[in-house]
Amino acid sequence: MTSALQLNIVSNVDTIHTFHSEDDTSLPDESYSITGVVELDLYHPIHIRQLSVQFEGQIESIFSTSDFFQDTNNTKADDEIPLNKWSTVESGKLMERLTRKAMGESSATFSILKEKVKILQGSHYLNKGKYSWPFSIVIQNVASLPPSILIPHHRIHYQLSARIKLNSIKERMKISYWQATNRMLQSNPRSDALSLSPSSAVSTDALSPSSSSPLSPESLSFSTLENANKSKRRNLLGVSMPIKICRHSYPSLYSLYQLHRIRYRGHRENHIEYEISMTKFACLQKRSFGFTCRFLPICPEAKIAKLEYYLEQIETYPIRAGDFSPKLVFSNTGSSPLLPRHRRFSRTTFEMNEYQHGSEIDLTLLLDLPQISPHIQTDMLRIHHKLRLIVRFVDEEKERNMSLSFPITLGTVPKLRSSIDSAERPLIEESDTVHVRQGLDAWLFEGQEQFTASYFEAYNKLPSYRDAIREGNPPSPFF
C-alpha cells in the first residue's frame, strides 16, 4: 500500500466515431453518452465535499520565434521533424522544458468543450473500504468535434477525469501525512519507479483490461507517445484517461472506389497545355494518393525536364501565447492573431526524359508520414492541404518554371476487417485507433492493403445475361 486512497475511472468507451461530409457538414444536434463507473478504494476514513466526473477537450498549438519568419524554401528535413523533436510531445526532463522556453517556445490553448457531472455533492463521511458510483455524461453535437491529432506543432486531445474535493484543509493535511508515511515505510524501490508522481501510485488491479499489455496498440496513449505504457494519469485526488475521437469522411474503404475524378485543364498560352485528373479526397489509411498528368508542349522551348510534386499542409494558428476564446480568434477586423504556416511533405521528383507528348503519366504521392494531419476546421486551428506540382523545363532561361496547386481533403474511414467468406463484402468493426501513427514505422490502420481495386471488381461489374433474366419484370408504376 503506497497511497491513502486509490481512485479509478472505468468508461464504456475509449474511442468515439463520428462522420462528416467533404464540405465539413455533419448531423445537427447529435448527442453521445459516455457511461461508466468511478471506483474508490479507501485505506482510511475521510470527509469529502464533492466527487465529480468531467469530459473535456482541448486544442494546443506550440510555436516558436521561427514561426514569425516564413521560409519559402523549406527542405524535406525542415518539415519532416523526427519524433523526439516534436514540440507537442511532453518532456519529463526539467532542463529540456526550460530549454524550450529559453528558445522562445510558447503555447496557445483553446477549450473545445467541458461537460461535468457531480456524483456526490455536500459533506459525506466515507469509512475505510471500497466504493463505486455509476455516471453518465451526455455530449451535445458530438459530430462537430474535431478528431484527436498529434503532430509536431499541434495537439487535439480529449480526456475523461474524476476528481475528489475534500471537506476541509484538515482532511487534506491528514491524507498528505498518510501518503508520506506510507511512502517512507515502503521498502520496495521498484514501486517508486512505477509511480507517475511523488504523490501518486498505480496498482495493476486499477488499470483497465485494455492496458494489460504495455506494448500492444490498444494500450498506447495518443496524447503522449513517450509514456505509451501508461493509459491513465493519476494524482492524489484525481484520475484521468484519454478518449479518442475519430472523425471519418466515408463509411469504408470500399466506398472510396466510387469517388468521382475531377479533371483540371489549363494552358500557358502558345507554350504548353496540361490536364490533371484526381479525386478531391485522399484516405490516410491507404498511405498514398494517385493522380494522372498529361502535358502537350506547343513550342520547342516548352520541353519538360522533370516534375516535382509534394503535399502542402497549410496550418493556421495563433502567433501569441495564452488561453483563447472564440471571440479572440478568426476575428473579422483584419487584426486576427493567426499565422498560416506552409509545410511540405513527401517531395518527389519524376524525370521526363522519355516522355511522349500527350501521353498520360500515373504519379503517386506518399501519405505515410506521422506529421500529416487530416482536415481540421476549428476556431483556433485550421489545417487544409494542397497538391503542389512544379513543372521544370529544359531551358529555364527561355521558359520559366510552372507551379500548379490543387486542393485535396485528407480524412479517414473506419477500420475494416476481411470477411471469412470471400463472397461477402468487408464489414466495419469498431476501431480503437486515431488517425495518427503511434510510431514512425506503421500506421495504426495496418493490414488494409488487401482491399485494392481488384478486390472490389466483382461488385462493380455489370450483371450477366442470366442474372438479368432471373431478375424478372420491373414493377409497374400503375399498381
**pLDDT at site 441:** 33
Q: Is the pLDDT of residue 94 over 80?
A: no
Q: Sorting pLDDT into bands at 50, 70 and 90, what band is 45?
A: confident
Name the more confident of 167 and 400: 400
CB 195 within 8 A of CB 66: no
In 203-224, which positions are buried (b, 16+ CB within 10 angstroms) versus exposed (e)?
A: eeebbbeebeeeeeeebbbbbb
As a whole number of angstroms, the distance between CA 410 and CA 237 comes to: 41
- What mean pLDDT is predicted for residues 301-306? 91
Q: Sorting pLDDT into bands at 50, 70 and 90, what band is 19?
A: confident
As a whole number of angstroms, the distance between CA 192 and CA 280 comes to: 53
Pairing mode, strands 402-411 and 382-393 = antiparallel
Name the more confident of 278 and 46: 278
| pLDDT, tens digit (0-9, with 9 covering 90-100), for 137-188 | 999 889 889 999 999 889 999 999 999 988 877 777 777 767 667 667 665 5
In 225-248, which positions are buried (b, 16+ CB within 10 angstroms) versus exposed (e)?
A: beebebbbbbebbbbbbbbbbbbb
| pLDDT, tens digit (0-9, with 9 covering 90-100), for 312-327 | 999 998 877 777 765 5
Q: Is the pLDDT of residue 397 over 90?
A: no
Cell of 279: 479525386
**pLDDT at site 457:** 54
**Per-domain residue ranges of the chain:** 5-184+231-248, 253-323+336-415
Residue 391 bridge partners (DSSP): 307, 402
Name the more confident of 274 and 472: 274
Q: Which helix (H) or strand (E) holds 191?
A: helix 189-194
Same fold, 5-184+231-248 and 253-323+336-415: yes
Q: What percent of the chain has pLDDT over 90?
A: 35
**pLDDT at site 450:** 44
Which segments of 60-103 does DSSP mark as H helices, in order?
Answer: 76-79, 94-102
Q: Is the pLDDT of residue 350 over 50?
A: yes
> Is it true that domain 5-184+231-248 has CATH number 3.40.50.300?
no
Whole-structure pTM value: 0.72
Lowest-confidence region among 191-195, 301-305, 310-314, 379-383: 191-195
Lowest-confidence region among 18-32, 84-98, 121-135, 180-194: 180-194
Q: Is the pLDDT of residue 393 over 90?
A: yes
**pLDDT at site 405:** 94
As a whole number of angstroms, the distance between CA 19 and CA 26 comes to: 7
Q: Closest Cα to residue 131, out of 11, 3, 5?
A: 5
Q: Which helix (H) or strand (E) holds 307?
A: strand 304-318
Lowest-confidence region among 83-87, 181-185, 329-333: 329-333
**pLDDT at site 66:** 59
Q: Closest Cα to residue 210, out of 462, 428, 445, 12?
A: 12
Q: Is the pLDDT of residue 444 over 60?
A: no
CATH number of this structure's domain 253-323+336-415, picked from the four choices 2.170.8.10, 3.40.50.10790, 2.60.40.640, 3.30.70.3270: 2.60.40.640
Q: Is the pLDDT of residue 443 over 90?
A: no
**pLDDT at site 339:** 80
Most trustworthy range by pLDDT among 61-65, 187-191, 331-335, 379-383: 379-383
As a whole number of angstroms, the distance between CA 344 and CA 75 comes to: 8
CB 133 within 8 A of CB 219: no
SS3 label, residue 102: helix
Most trustworthy range by pLDDT among 264-268, 329-333, 431-435: 264-268
